[in-house]
DNA sequence: ACCGGGTTGTTCAAATTCGAACAACCGCTA
DNA sequence: TAGCGGTTGTTCGAATTTGAACAACCCGGT
């Protein structure tokens, strides 16, 4: 067992800033969507993912991977959205195991209604807090991290 | 209702990178601590917070605020750690409402045992993925965000 | 000394998350 | 075409989180 390579003060600062910023932002977004729009953040993200697809649909597994969540978690949330009429499940032609989650018109309408407030919140929680240069540098770092942790 | 100030592509990239990086890192850390050390991330953070205090103790409310979690969440996790013998509750002299969460020797020993592996994971999840310059820029941005969202 | 507003920590129900287990299915190979 | 490893989505129980409700307590002004 080699001696641990402890974090120096800059590295500690980086880690703490990362944890604090991500928790604060997540907390804020979750709270806003919940209170103002009656959606959880995962649910909102599902609507966004589906709306981005040409046919407003995604396989359950693809959806779960896109959300970085478990399959059971995706299944649960799709169930909720289905009850709310924002999404429905559709069988997958050519693969009887498969299930598509499909955005309904009502789901798309909901998303359009909610998006402006959400974008405003994203601005006030991240974008508008930083200069253009800070934002670019932040994106660079975060992207490098995200790419480094893929799979 | 004014027209929403939609995000341009750089802003969208920033937001997506933020969400993806924070989810991937959190997921990785949580998984590692759970599997390798038998602690949840919140629990580990509690041990760290307490160990940082001169007397290894914090009031429940302070602890909750430090963790950016709810009071009930802190209470729950302290209950778990108490059962595990890593922490105990102590009444607060001068304030009968107050409760201190106090780190035990065993808790400190556990933290010392777990810390090296955790630090290695923090390195491989964030620190070592970035150059010194990237890390500094990332810290700057994330700190600005965290400060901007305080309270 | 007493009140009234604020604070502290716990408990509760409800919601959410996860992984394991499972049944059903796919596609390739013998 | 029978079989077999791998995939798909759901269900289950366990763990966790949250806000609301609550009881107990603190304190400054009267």
Tell whether A19 is covered by a domain. no
- A99-CA/C22-C1' distance, Å: 17
Q: Say if residue A23 is exposed, middle or buried (CB neighbours under 10 Å; 0-12, 13-18, 19+).
A: middle
Whether residue B102 lies inside any domain: the answer is yes
Residue A9, in any domain of the structure: no
Residue B92 lies in a domain: yes
Q: What is the CATH number of the domain that holds A99?
A: 1.10.10.10
Q: What is the mean pLDDT of residues B113-135?
A: 97
Its domain, for residue A98, covers 33-133
Chain A residues closer than 8 Å to B10 by CB:
132, 135-136, 139
Residue given tokens 């959880």 in the structure block: A40
Å from the B42 CA to the D28 C1': 38
A136 pLDDT tier (thresholds 50, 70, 90): very high
Q: How far is the CA of B59 from the C1' of C11 (A)?
A: 19
Q: Do B125 and A116 touch (CB under 8 A)?
A: no
Which residues fall within 8 angstroms of residue B93, CB to CB, at 6 or more apart? none
Average pLDDT over residues B59-88: 98
pLDDT of B3 > 90? The answer is no
Q: What does the pLDDT look like over A3-47, one tens digit per residue?
A: 889 999 999 999 999 999 999 999 999 999 999 889 999 999 999
Please report whether residue B53 resides in a domain.
Answer: yes
Q: Which nucleotide is nearest to A101 (CA to C1')?
A: D9
Does B62 fall in a domain?
yes
Query: Cβ contact (<8 Å) for B126 and A14?
Result: yes
Helix or strand (DSSP H, E) at A28: helix A9-32
Please classify residue A58 by burial: count the beta carbons closer than 10 Å to its beta carbon, then call 0-12 exposed, 13-18 middle and 19+ buried. Answer: buried
Shortest distance, CA A38 to any CA of chain B (angstroms): 20
More confident residue, B2 or A32: A32
**CA-to-CA distance for A100 and B141, rounded, in angstroms?**
39
Helices (H) and strands (E) in chain A, counts: 6, 3
Whole-number pLDDT of residue B145: 98
Q: Once rounded to an integer, what is the mean pLDDT over residues B104-121?
A: 97
Residues pairing with B87 in the sheet: B103
- Tell me which residue in A13, A137, A150 faces B141 most closely, judged by beta carbons: A137
- Per-residue pLDDT, averaged over A113-129, amounts to 97
Closest CA to B145 of A148, A67, A114, A27: A27
Confidence of residue A91 (pLDDT cuts 50, 70, 90): very high
pLDDT at B2 over 80: no
Phi, psi of B126 (to 5 degrees): -150, -65
> pLDDT value at position A2?
78
How confident is the model at residue A85, as a pLDDT? 97
Quick one: pLDDT at residue B19? 98
Query: φ, ψ for residue A39 (rounded to 5)?
Result: -125, 150
Distance B80 CA to D16 C1' (A): 11
Return the nearest residue to C24, CA–C1'.
Answer: A97
Whether the CB of B49 is less than 7 Å away from nucleic strand D comes out as no
Q: For chain B, how many structural domains are there in total? A: 1
Given a cut of 80, whether residue B32 has pLDDT beyond it is yes
Q: For C20, which residue's CA is nearest its C1'?
A: A72
Q: Is A22 a member of any domain?
A: no
Name the E strands within chain B. Answer: 57-59, 87-91, 99-103
Confidence of residue B1 (pLDDT cuts 50, 70, 90): low
- Contact A51/A108 with Cβ under 8 angstroms? yes
Whether B100 is in a domain gets the answer yes
User: Mean pLDDT throughout A70-95?
Assistant: 97
Cβ–Cβ of A141/B137 closer than 8 Å? yes
What pLDDT was estimated at residue A1?
Answer: 67
Can you point out the beta strands (E) in A2-69? 57-59
Q: What is the mean pLDDT of chain A?
A: 96
Rounded percentage of chain A residues whose pLDDT exceeds 70: 99
Closest CA of chain B from A52, distance in Å: 14
Q: Do B14 and A139 lie within an 8 Å CB cutoff?
A: yes
């Amino acid at each position: 067992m080699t001696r641990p390579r402890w974090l120096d003060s800059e590295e500690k600062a980086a880690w703490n800033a990362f944890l604090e910023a991500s928790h604060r932002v997540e907390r804020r977004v979750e709270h806003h969507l919940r209170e103002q729009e009656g959606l959880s953040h995962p649910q909102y993200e599902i609507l966004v993912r589906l709306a981005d697809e040409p046919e407003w649909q995604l396989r359950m597994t693809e959806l779960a991977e896109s959300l970085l969540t478990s399959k059971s978690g995706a299944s649960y949330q799709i169930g909720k959205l289905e009850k709310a009429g924002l999404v429905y499940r559709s069988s997958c032609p050519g693969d009887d195991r498969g299930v598509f989650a499909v955005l309904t018109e009502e789901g798309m309408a909901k998303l359009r209604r909610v998006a402006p407030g959400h974008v405003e919140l994203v601005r006030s929680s991240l974008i508008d807090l930083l200069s253009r240069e800070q934002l670019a540098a932040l994106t660079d770092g975060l992207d490098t991290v995200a790419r480094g942790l893929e799979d």
